[in-house]
Every structure is written in C-alpha cells, then in structure tokens.
Amino acid sequence: MPVSMKDVATAAGVSLSTVSRALADSPRIKPETRTHIQQLAKEMGYLPNAIARGLATHRTFVLGVVVMDITDPLIVEIVRGIDHAAQGHGYSVILSDCGPDPERQLEAIQLLRQQRVDSIIVPDPIIGDSALPALLETGAPVVLINRPQYRYSINTDNVAGARQAVSYLLDLGHRRIAYIGANRNPAESHERLTGYLEALAAYGLMSDTEFQVGPNDWSENGWQAMQALLTLSQPPTALFCFNDMTAIGALGAAHAAGVRVPEELSVVGFDDINLAAHFIPPLTTVAQQKERLAELAVSLALALIDDDAALAGQLIPANLVVRGSTAARPSKR
C-alpha cells in the first residue's frame, strides 16, 4: 500500500526510470523535471523501498554489529557510537548480541549473512576467537575494534594509555604499584601490562611479580585480586587495573577491608565507562575515545566495501582522567 515509484511516475506522467533518476539526483536529467518529481514524491509521501533497492543493487545499507554482551558498559558506548555514525552515512545497523555460546554465535552470523549486510563491525575483543573465521567467510568485510592483531581493525593505544596512568601514580610518589590484569582478554591485558612495565622502567623500577595479579576481568575478580594483594606483607599503595569494572571490584574489596581510597590506596581504571564518574569515589581512569573508535570503524567498514583499506590499523590515543580515587602516597607507609 505504500506509494511506489510507479505511482509517482504515473502521477507525474513520466516513465518509471525518470523518477528513479530524479530521485537519485542523476546528472542526466533536466533540473526542472527533477525538482518537480522530487517535490511530487514528497507530497505523495513516497518512501524508497530499501528492500527492493537492495535486491537490485546488491547493497542493503545495513551494517551488522556483533557483540557477545551488549550490556558491557564499554561495549554499549561503542555500539551507540557506531549506530550514530552509521545513521550519519544513511546506514542502519542490525545488532546481534550472541552471548557466550559459540553455536549461537554462528547462528547469529548466519542471520546476518541472510540479511546481506554490507559490512560487519565487531566492537568486542572477546567474541570470535571461535566465531571470527565464520565471520570472515561471510563475504562482507569485517572490521574489528581493539584487536590489533587483525589487519582491518581500529584500536586504542593501550600501551601509551597504561604508561600514562602508571607514570601519574609514580609522580604522586607511589612506588609499590600493582597491576590487576584480565584473562578474558589476554591481548589487551598484555598491552596494558607492557605500558605499566615501561612506566616503571622509565623510573628505573622493576615490577615485583607479586604485584602483577590476575589476570582477571569481572568486578568479582577485581575483588579477589585486591584481597590477595592485601595479604602481602608489603601491600601496594597504588593499583592500576585492567578496566573500570576490575577497579570497581577492587574498590569494593578495599572498602570491605577498611582500606580508605584514596587516602591509603590509589586506584586507576581503564575505559572511562559512564559509571566511573558516578562511583564512590569517582574513579581516576584512562579514557578510551569510544566515539572516535566507532566513527573510524564505521568509515573503515564502509570504505572496505569498495576495497579501500586506508583507515585500517589506526591507533587512537587514550587519555588519563584524574578523579577522586587517586592521591599522593601516604607518607606514613
């Protein structure tokens, strides 16, 4: 029932293809008739049928986004950025939340293929150690976020970000600084560990291996890692955590043990999720530029449709945001 090009054509007394051209701003059309038709189409409430167009052009103007858990505070923010950027390009995004089950991941990818999405973005560093191959067979280009090992990716500069955070702690006078890593995410965790070690080395310090805890990820595990650190004879005075959720877990354990933050312990996270600013105390953290990562990923995903990989492999800086969870080293210790 919605009005089609044919309807517009007969109403305008021209042929179907003239309408098609007019609406597509084709150069080969008389300006007057074009504006006339465009206006007529608007009056009639014509809305292009993306399905029909997709069938004819083999371009659906739909982007697929595959995540394992859209509930992850970092991931949602990136997904939101992707959605906005896509809309800016006239694209829609199909969201596919796969969960941890590999079989379901495959099914979800099949669905995406059936829908003939033009390109796929995976803003989730965890997904796809198993699903990635299937994804790549899709035919559609696949862009990853924060997966530097893969060629078509857009990544945060984890090493530099971590270095910045730990340097800051060193500048505050801290010398016993621990790192709580993440096992769900070995590659990223290792990069942040590298930055941590580099910062220490620049101060002529070595990291005590008992200060490299984890790897862990969830806040529960941040909690456990903190507890382990508190049993040391010389516990750390500062903590650099894989991400904000880990930091929040550690904060909980510190609170439970009666360790005051930041007076007795400084804590730095990574990501700068929305919550970080609202936590008690507000979390000092290394902010990822989620919007920018998303924009670039979308641009790359669309460019790859035409085999343009110029944007591939970009490294985006991450910047320390100082808030209430860090302070100078307690003098008494």
Partner DNA sequence: CTGTTAGCGCTTTCAC
Partner DNA sequence: GTGAAAGCGCTAACAG
* Binding interface with DNA (CB under 7 A): 4-6, 14-18, 20-21, 23-24, 28-31, 33-34, 46, 48-49, 52-53, 55-58
**Contact status: 327 vs a second copy (CB under 8 A):** no
| 229 contact, one of a second copy, DNA, none, CB 5-8 Å limit per kind | none
CB–CB of 293/287 below 8 Å? no
**Contact status: 48 vs a second copy (CB under 8 A):** yes
- Radius of gyration (C-alpha) of the chain in whole angstroms: 25
| 35 contact, one of a second copy, DNA, none, CB 5-8 Å limit per kind | none
Count CB neighbours of 196 within 10 A.
25
Residues binding a second copy: number (CB under 8 A): 53
CB–CB of 118/62 below 8 Å? yes
Tokens coding 99:
């969960």
Q: Minimum distance between the CB of residue 178 and a second copy, rounded to whole angstroms?
A: 20
Distance of CA 265 to the CA centre of its chain: 30
Round to whole Å and give the CA distance between 316 and 26.
38
Q: Which of positions 92-151 make contact with a second copy (CB under 8 A)?
A: 92-97, 99, 104, 107-108, 110-116, 139
Amino acid at 263: E
Tokens coding 3:
């009005």
| 257 contact, one of DNA, a second copy, none, CB 5-8 Å limit per kind | none
Instruction: Tell which one of 31, 231, 258, 278 touches a second copy (CB under 8 A).
Output: 278
Round to whole Å and give the CA distance between 295 and 303.
12
Instruction: Tell which one of 9, 22, 37, 79 touches a second copy (CB under 8 A).
Output: 79
Round to whole Å and give the CA distance between 253 and 220.
9
Site map for a second copy, 238-257, x if CB under 8 A?
A: -------x--xx-xx--x--
Round to whole Å and give the CA distance between 29 and 8.
16
Round to whole Å and give the CA distance between 180 and 166.
13
Binding site for a second copy (CB under 8 A): 1-2, 47-52, 54-55, 60, 62, 65, 69-71, 76-77, 79-80, 83-84, 87, 90, 92-97, 99, 104, 107-108, 110-116, 139, 219, 245, 248-249, 251-252, 255, 274-275, 278, 280
